[in-house]
Structure 1
Amino acid sequence: MDATVSKRWLLARLYEPEQTIVDCRFTLGKPDAGRKSYEQEHIPGAIYLDLELDLSSPLGEHGGRHPLPDPEVLAARLAKLGIGNDSRVVAYDDENGMNAARLWWLLRYLGHEQVYILEGGFSAWKAEKFPVTDHQPVRVPSTFVPKVQVQMLAGVDEVRRISEQTIDAALHASSTAADSALALPILIDSRANDRYQGMNETLDKTAGHIPGAVNFFWKETQNADGSVKNSEQLTEHFAGLDKHREIIVYCGSGVTACPNVLALEKAGYKNVKLYAGSWSDWISYEQNPVATGEE
């Protein structure tokens, strides 16, 4: 099954007991806006998970602006809200799926495969005049035992090594260096191109990108209505990326990279990792180099 579901698919299964719908609406810079929107109206049966309070750890010196939550802490939170290992989870937001994709990635990181994203989000659901409510459901706690998939995650040391090797291979124009470069993982920066080039940075203290990274803006994986492009369109979008090489995806804080991970997997890329701390973690280490412009 695809990682996304249509509005009509969800409507037909709205009250199935094994399903949990999760409202992930959140606005950067307005931390209460998402919850207030949920309290005003949401899809019937939906619970709310906050990007910063539930789907991230508290800020520290490193780890980026949205550090990954501790797996055991997140699992306990999910269980308290009635999400168990056998639950089917459908997530939505109103931010082109970026927060819903964060939950999608986190659940899969915890070993939970039955998680999907609602195409178009809440506004599209409401525009179809599908049901909404302000009633907050009472949830019966469940049991969620995490089985952490460590292979889905890349850390700063790994990214630093790949960056250094990629730049070194580019500086040595020999057949040996070229062969070495082709064996290296590919670093993908998911931010808008002006942020990637270091021309316009409004969220982080330093502008630019990780040396050696290439740019694929996450919103370009979507259609005008916010749905994810089909596999053929995504294959064309990511043309030139070797499907046999490992790919490590990052963004500003590890959130908007998640839709790119989803899109890459839909396009047939099998070995995709997330650098969860992303750019905001990278620049928290003074020794890490910064690149600007196009690679």
Structure 2
Amino acid sequence: MSSKSRFVVSPDWVAERLGSPGFAVVDASWYLPAHQRDAKAEYAAGHLPGAVFFDQDEIADKESGLPHTLPAPEFFAAEMGRLGIGEGDTIVVYDGPGFFAAPRVWWMLRIMGAEDVYALDGGLDGWKAESRPLETETPARPAKTFIPAFRDERVTSFEAMRDIVGSGKRQIADARGAGRFEAVEPEPRPGMRSGHMPGARNLPAGSFSKDGKFKTVEELRAMFDEAGIDLDRPVVTSCGSGVTAAIITLALESVGHADNTLYDGSWSEWGSRDDTAIVTGKA
């Protein structure tokens, strides 16, 4: 018998709870230029009832020099409170296609202290396909206090990543597409070398879902096994800029793997430097 991730909820589950006290829905949509989708415009055109918009480019550390870097806990907490979300709420995040940007905000909320956080199976596209209700107005949620409890041990810095690459103390799971990983396709951001970190394994972000639905726990385990990831050992996840790495994190947590971290700088940092080790070809 197949089982779904305990962190993934169905449209029916969400619909039953909409409007309930302590229940929050977050539109976490964010796209690359190649998607040709405008997250803010889509939110304005129609979003889940009561959903607030989480801007991943704004709720970020803008001083880092890297795209949408994890912000300071105090800033994150203030922004959540402004959106009417407390750390004790039941929170559901979603994006357009189902599992692209939403897992990043799921991860951020969890490492900042929220525990009851889920991702919507099928995303906004799936919700629309089932002709479920939408709203166009921005909800007026009363401000709340979000008390952060930052789990900094779940975030890998550049210095720690360099040590991991050199020592092999953690397995590296890279969510970029195979073409970028193997350096047969260029990086979408200028000034970056192509390839991957020595020892990294490739688990493309798009392979974790099908038609917007997250794969079963059994399928996820098989994916990790096929990629050569030992679930009894620590893992650090990475991608282009720290967004889709969280899809692997969600998958790891779904199969019961808790000893994982996310390299926030990801390839935007590693690939743009001239003092980092890079290899090409298949892992």
Same fold (TM over 0.5): yes
Residue 167 of structure 2: aligned partner? 165
- The answer (yes or no) to whether the contact 1:66–1:277 under 8 Å persists in 2 is no
Q: What amino acid is aligned across from residue 149 of structure 2 in structure 1?
A: K
Q: What amino acid is aligned across from residue 26 of structure 1 in structure 2?
A: W
Residue 187 of structure 1: aligned partner? 172
- Structure 2 residue 185 is matched with structure 1 residue 200: yes
Aligned length: 274
Give distance in 2, aligned partners of 1:98 and 1:90: 15
- The answer (yes or no) to whether the contact 1:243–1:270 under 8 Å persists in 2 is no
- The answer (yes or no) to whether the contact 1:22–1:49 under 8 Å persists in 2 is yes
- TM-score norm. by structure 1 comes to 0.88
Identical-residue share of aligned pairs (%) = 34
Q: Structure 1 residue 286: deviation in Å?
A: 2.2
Residue-by-residue CA offset, 1:227-250 (whole Å, 9 max, x unaligned): 111111111111142222110010
Residue 240 of structure 2: aligned partner? 252
Residue-by-residue CA offset, 1:59-81 (whole Å, 9 max, x unaligned): 644xx333112211111000011
- Aligned to 2:86, the other structure's residue is in SS state coil
Which of 40, 47, 50 is the aligned partner of 2:52?
47
CA 33–59 in structure 1, closer or farther in 2 if over 3 Å, else same? farther
CA RMSD of aligned residues (A): 1.8
Give distance in 2, aligned partners of 1:95 and 1:43: 14
Q: Structure 1 residue 31: deviation in Å?
A: 10
Q: Structure 1 residue 207: deviation in Å?
A: 0.9
Residue-by-residue CA offset, 1:167-217 (whole Å, 9 max, x unaligned): xxxxxxxxxxxxxxxxx2101111111110111124232211112211111
- The answer (yes or no) to whether the contact 2:97–2:126 under 8 Å persists in 1 is no
Q: Structure 1 residue 107: deviation in Å?
A: 0.5
Instruction: Structure 2 unaligned segments of length 5 or more: list them.
Output: none
- Structure 2 residue 96 is matched with structure 1 residue 94: yes
Which of 202, 210, 219 is the aligned partner of 2:206?
219
Give distance in 1, aligned partners of 2:56 and 2:159: 26
Trace 1:1-295 onto structure 2 (pairs within 5 A). Answer: 2-29=6-33, 33-54=38-59, 56-58=60-62, 60-61=64-65, 64-166=66-168, 184-204=169-189, 205-222=192-209, 224-239=210-225, 240-295=228-283
Q: Structure 1 residue 95: deviation in Å?
A: 3.7
Q: What amino acid is aligned across from residue 230 of structure 1 in structure 2?
A: T
Give distance in 2, aligned partners of 1:59 and 1:192: 28
Q: Structure 1 residue 283: deviation in Å?
A: 2.6
